[in-house]
Amino acid sequence: MDRDLNEDDSVVDLSFEAESPLAPPTELLERLPSYDWLLQGGRGQIFFPPLEAPGRPQEQRSWLSFLEHRVPVMTEEVAREALLSFVNSKCCYSSTVAGDLVIRELKQQTLCRYRLETFSESRISEWTFQPFTNHSVDGPQRGASPRLWDIKVQVPPMFQEDTRKFQVPHSSLVKECHKCHGRGRYKCSGCHGAGTVRCPSCCGAKRKAKQSRRCQLCAGSGRRRCSTCSGRGNKTCATCKGEKKLLHFIQLVIMWKNSLFEFVSEHRLNCPRELLAKAKGENLFKDENSVVYPIVDFPLQDISLASQRGIAEHSAALASRARVLQQRQTIELIPLTEVHYWYQGKTYVYYIYGTDHQVYAVDYPERYCCGCTIV
């Protein structure tokens, strides 16, 4: 049997507690006068950004370039080359079909894709801690902490998402570690502080059952060194790393996010909209500024309505919790062609979309194996 152990006053018995760092009790962190605006209930808080000055006035736009723009006409030769390129990228599609098929009809349509990007910044604060290593403490005695939106940081490139964390000046406090109660270590849960455990081979009997020889695994002692603590009987506190104290401070978390709104104009063909949303298009219009205004006079009314809806949705979603740094809206032209062809007495259809002539084949004949996805 395991021997009884006397309590060691310098070691806290946390055998039944998790060893990972835990949040300290709320009462450990007293409310500081200069921090009342930072936290509510000791938990992280989202801070409303300051109001921004209105942007530039809306400008009159001319869509003459759109009215005059002409997408290159799709020819049978280009349609066949696009299909051959698609077939060659598939391991089990016969290229014979693409060479022998007879194209019966080309139905061409030009779509418009509207895209709105809104690059925003949001800030939250939260208590956090780290082991205290006796370095200088930037606490409230050095002055009041700045308001979170007054802290200047380097903004990443526009429309590139990122998250960064900063220590709020003058918010540090040094406290006794709440996990080990300031002792830096705790009793090992594997051996209960003994440093050894019962031998798994002889179960502590020093020799195996029905054998006169002593147990070779424990050399007849009945015990083995504890593998959890390497025989020390205690483990270093995982929260304070043995330093006994923790440095608590308020952490500013800044998140830069790029919100995206997309819309593809209506079309009469059966090409999946999710493919058209990712298709490569030809840029027709680009507007980028701290604030962009809805498009109201585009020749296709559904694009104008999409612009108004997208800007309204982003404004409603971000107005109370983030600061908009930059917006960008674009309109792209996406060519789409429905190709009807005849092969061995049957009629088939495939689609060519995007300026790079991607292909979507509905029912391609002569496929020889499974496992390939038609895209």
Average pLDDT, the chain: 81
Average pLDDT over residues 115-127: 94
Q: Give the span between the Cα atoms of 294 and 292, in whole angstroms.
A: 7
For residue 7, pLDDT beyond 70: no
In a domain, 320, yes or no: yes
Average pLDDT over residues 17-37: 50
pLDDT band at 375 (very low <50, low <70, confident <90, very high): very low
Q: Give the span between the Cα atoms of 280 and 352, in whole angstroms.
A: 12
Q: How many Cα atoms are found within 13 Å in the side-chain-facing hemisphere of 236?
A: 8
Domain tally, the chain: 1
In a domain, 276, yes or no: yes
In this structure, of 210-219, 241-250, 348-357, the range with the lowest mean pLDDT score is 210-219
In a domain, 303, yes or no: yes
In a domain, 312, yes or no: yes
The pTM assigned to this predicted structure is 0.72
pLDDT band at 319 (very low <50, low <70, confident <90, very high): confident
In a domain, 123, yes or no: no
Q: How many angstroms separate the Cα of 291 from the Cα of each of 41, 55, 103, 255, 358?
A: 35, 6, 48, 19, 34
pLDDT the model gives residue 60: 58
pLDDT the model gives residue 205: 79
pLDDT band at 40 (very low <50, low <70, confident <90, very high): very low
Q: What is the length of the chain?
A: 375
In a domain, 140, yes or no: no
Q: Are 291 and 314 in contact (CB under 8 A)?
A: no
For residue 15, pLDDT beyond 50: no
For residue 33, pLDDT beyond 50: no
Question: Model confidence over 160-196: pLDDT tens digits?
Answer: 999 999 999 999 999 999 888 899 988 888 888 888 8
SS3 327: strand
For residue 81, pLDDT beyond 90: yes
Amino acid type, 127: W
For residue 285, pLDDT beyond 70: yes
pLDDT the model gives residue 1: 40
For residue 287, pLDDT beyond 80: yes
In a domain, 137, yes or no: no
* pLDDT > 70: percent of the chain: 78
For residue 21, pLDDT beyond 80: no
Between 67 and 357, name the one with better pLDDT.
357
Q: Are 326 and 313 in contact (CB under 8 A)?
A: no
Average pLDDT over residues 250-265: 95
pLDDT the model gives residue 62: 65
Average pLDDT over residues 321-331: 94
Question: Model confidence over 337-361: pLDDT tens digits?
Answer: 999 999 888 999 999 999 999 999 8
pLDDT band at 52 (very low <50, low <70, confident <90, very high): low
pLDDT the model gives residue 190: 81
In this structure, of 9-23, 175-189, 233-247, 355-369, the range with the lowest mean pLDDT score is 9-23
In a domain, 171, yes or no: no
Between 200 and 54, name the one with better pLDDT.
200
Q: Give the span between the Cα atoms of 334 and 65, in whole angstroms.
A: 16
pLDDT the model gives residue 64: 61
Which range of residues forms the domain containing residue 294?
63-117+256-361
Helix or strand (DSSP H, E) at 246: strand 245-264
